[in-house]
Amino acid sequence: MTGLNADKENNENNENKETKIPETENTDIKNTNNKNNNEIKKITSFTVDHTKLVPGIYVSRRDGDVTTYDLRVKKPNGGDYLSDVELHTFEHMFATYIRNSDVGENVIYFGPMGCKTGFYLLTRGLENIAVLKYTVETLEKIISHDGEVFGASAAECGNYKLLDLDAAKSVAAEYLSSLRRAVSDFKYPS
Ligand SMILES: [Zn+2]
């Protein structure tokens, strides 16, 4: 976890602990790297057929009471990807607005996908339909946002110059129109 969402937890975890980095010479870590590929498990998100995926909202996985939603903005491998400034500013805006909503306490994490085609939203204790409703409301708030980008300072962010409100607004508008185009059953296409 990174940035906006995990700071509090990290601080709490680090408070009373001194962390010692283990020696790496001639130890188990080296041996682990020698594992052949048969022993490497495919992670769940790699089992989704990305060639069939279109923009929308999907349940990516459930871990206990935590649900991970795939907020897919761009068609995978479609040649059109979110830019760094779009990913970054949308992350700031969406995370702040949804954490300030009525379901803020149910939000575990929000952050961008490394492949630059969407975002992951982790929640607890919410029905799919509620997650969709609050996602739509959050998009509307971003689109009508008037003022500074949230967290746009060197003290609050690791790359605060890489922020642009219009970039977040265009992502929000594009994703909102995708969500309105079709009724979601939250299931990945099979
Ligand atoms: Zn940032």
Per-residue pLDDT of the chain (190 residues; tens, 9 = 90+): 444 554 444 444 555 567 787 776 655 555 555 556 678 888 888 888 999 999 999 999 999 999 999 999 999 999 999 999 999 999 999 999 999 999 999 999 999 999 999 999 999 999 999 999 999 999 999 999 999 999 999 999 999 999 999 999 999 999 999 999 988 899 999 8
Distance 112 CA to ligand 1 centre (A): 11
Distance 40 CA to ligand 1 centre (A): 32
Distance 164 CA to ligand 1 centre (A): 11
The two counts, helices (H) then strands (E), for the chain are: 5, 4
Distance 159 CA to ligand 1 centre (A): 6
Residue among 43, 1, 44, 41 nearest 188 (CA): 44
Q: Are 93 and 146 in contact (CB under 8 A)?
A: no
Distance CA 119, CA 175 (A): 11
Q: Which amino acid makes up residue 31?
A: N
Distance 7 CA to ligand 1 centre (A): 12
Distance CA 101, CA 86 (A): 22
DSSP reduced 3-state for 95:
helix
Give the number of other Cβ atoms within 10 Å of residue 168's Cβ: 26
Distance 156 CA to ligand 1 centre (A): 7
β-pairing, 56-63 with 66-72? antiparallel
Instruction: Name the β-bridge partners of 62.
Output: 67
Distance 91 CA to ligand 1 centre (A): 8
Distance 87 CA to ligand 1 centre (A): 10
Strand order in the sheet with 66-72: 56-63, 66-72, 118-124, 107-112
Give the number of other Cβ atoms within 10 Å of residue 138's Cβ: 24
pLDDT at position 149 is 98
- Does the model's pTM come out above 0.75? yes
Distance 184 CA to ligand 1 centre (A): 30
Distance 167 CA to ligand 1 centre (A): 14
Distance 8 CA to ligand 1 centre (A): 16
pLDDT at position 25 is 63
Helix, strand, coil percent values for the chain (each to nearest 5): 40, 15, 45
Q: Which domains does the chain have, with CATH numbers?
A: 52-190 (3.30.1360.80)
